[in-house]
Amino acid sequence: MDSLVLARQTYPGQKNNLDALCRRLGIDNSHRTLHGALLDSEILADVYLLMTGGQTALNLSGKDGDAKGAETIRRLASDRKKLKVIRASADELEEHEQRLDLLEKGGTESLWRKLQIH
């Protein structure tokens, strides 16, 4: 989802950069003195949620701490489709090992081999 396209559709003819969207949606971005990918992505997540009317808070415990939240989690988990797991083929695994060999020849220690679980 391209948030700029969404912003242009939602606010046609208006300025739709991140600062303008924050002002329009009431998001505090006063701590944004530099343009950094991590900070900008966190702010953009808030912008996106407000533009789409999505979830902006996480409250799974219910109003009075009852079992409502746990029931919601169970229902969401049961509705979730099974993830399709695609395993690497023998050829792909061999190519991966060859790439790691090249890295190690260049003096770079392979994290993959350190973390590899057999």
End-to-end CA distance of the chain: 38
Contact criterion met (CB below 8 Å) for 47 and 22 = yes
Residues 6+ apart with CB under 8 A from 10: 51
Classify residue 88 as left (phi > 0), alpha (psi -120 to 50) or beta.
beta
Tokens, residue 23: 């002002």
Catalytic residue numbers?
35
